[in-house]
Structure 1
Amino acid sequence: MIASTYHLGIDVGSTTAKAVVFDPLAQRVLFSRYVRHNAHQVETVASLLRTVAKEFPECSFRLVACGSGGTTIADVLGVPFVQEVVANSLAVRRNHENVRCAIELGGQDAKMVFFERDEKSGATTVADMRMNGSC
């Protein structure tokens, strides 16, 4: 079954670009691609978007960008930008409620997010976050 609108995430980091198509009805990933951009972020994202369009010719998408290069892409495409630590924290909280620490290693930095359980609501919340400076 084809969803009326798939979710398309573009993550543009310091060394790579990633694209993921997610079906919100089936709650599953339909497509993912991870490529080095060799400092050609816009061209690489354009290529990823052409690939997605070929794979899903009759579909519409809700597009969001993240990553250190994501603000430029979001501005060029006129789509929302979500800061990458926020995006990762939301995904961990939703899909791995028992996790207490998530570590993300990027091309230029490392991030650690610490989670705790809210005693009143039982929800997983972000307790602290640490990030080193860019290399």
Structure 2
Amino acid sequence: MAKFMGIDVGSTTVKVCVLSETYEILYTSYERHFARVKECVLNQLSIVEEKFGGGEFQVSITGSAGLGLAERAHISFVQEVQAAFTAIRKYYPDADAAVELGGEDAKIIFITGGTEQRMNGSCAGG
């Protein structure tokens, strides 16, 4: 069975997470891309290949700068609030809300009672 890999390409960073078939976190990385997105993503992929020997992965991309990459690479794109919501529900099932500070915005996701999201596009945290 394939492992899962999530790639989050944000306005300032690239984050990668590899999960086992049972959703155990096997690897995470966080790297500032300094506007060299392609170079940074390729570097992270080479690290994953080195660590996991080029096995089979089910890959999804998210993040404010990820859509174009996902389209060019024919990889599924998941909107970042939905990706965060899914991970929070899986790993922190008792959470009521989550706050994320990104490089170009800040988000709060209210989880209890349905998914509600608020975003401040003028607040750069990264």
2: distance between equivalents of 1:58 and 1:87?
A: 24
Larger radius of gyration: 1
Shift of 1:113: 0.8
Please say if 1:12 is aligned against 2:9: yes
Q: Look up the SS of the partner of 2:40 in the other structure.
A: helix
**Partner of residue 102, structure 2:** 106
Query: Counterparts of 1:17-36 in structure 2 under 5 Å?
Result: 17-25=14-22, 27-36=23-32
2: distance between equivalents of 1:134 and 1:41?
A: 22
What is the alpha-carbon root mean square deviation over aligned residues? 1.4
Unaligned runs of 5+ in 2: none
**Percent sequence identity over aligned pairs:** 39
| CA distance 1:46–1:8, shift in 2 (3 Å) | same
Q: After the TM superposition, which of the residue ranges 71-80 and 9-18 deviates more from structure 2? A: 71-80
Give the TM-score normalised by the residue count of structure 1.
Answer: 0.84
Equivalent position to 2:61, from 62, 65, 74? 65
Q: Look up the SS of the partner of 1:9 in the other structure.
A: strand
Equivalent position to 2:85, from 74, 82, 89? 89
1: distance between equivalents of 2:122 and 2:43?
A: 27
Give the TM-score normalised by the residue count of structure 2.
Answer: 0.90
Shift of 1:19: 0.9
For 1:23, the aligned partner's letter is S
Shift of 1:37: 0.3
| CA distance 1:70–1:44, shift in 2 (3 Å) | same
Shift of 1:97: 2.4
Q: Look up the SS of the partner of 1:8 in the other structure.
A: strand
Equivalent position to 2:119, from 93, 106, 131? 131
Unaligned runs of 5+ in 1: 118-124
> What stretches of structure 1 move > 6 A for 4+ residues in a row?
none
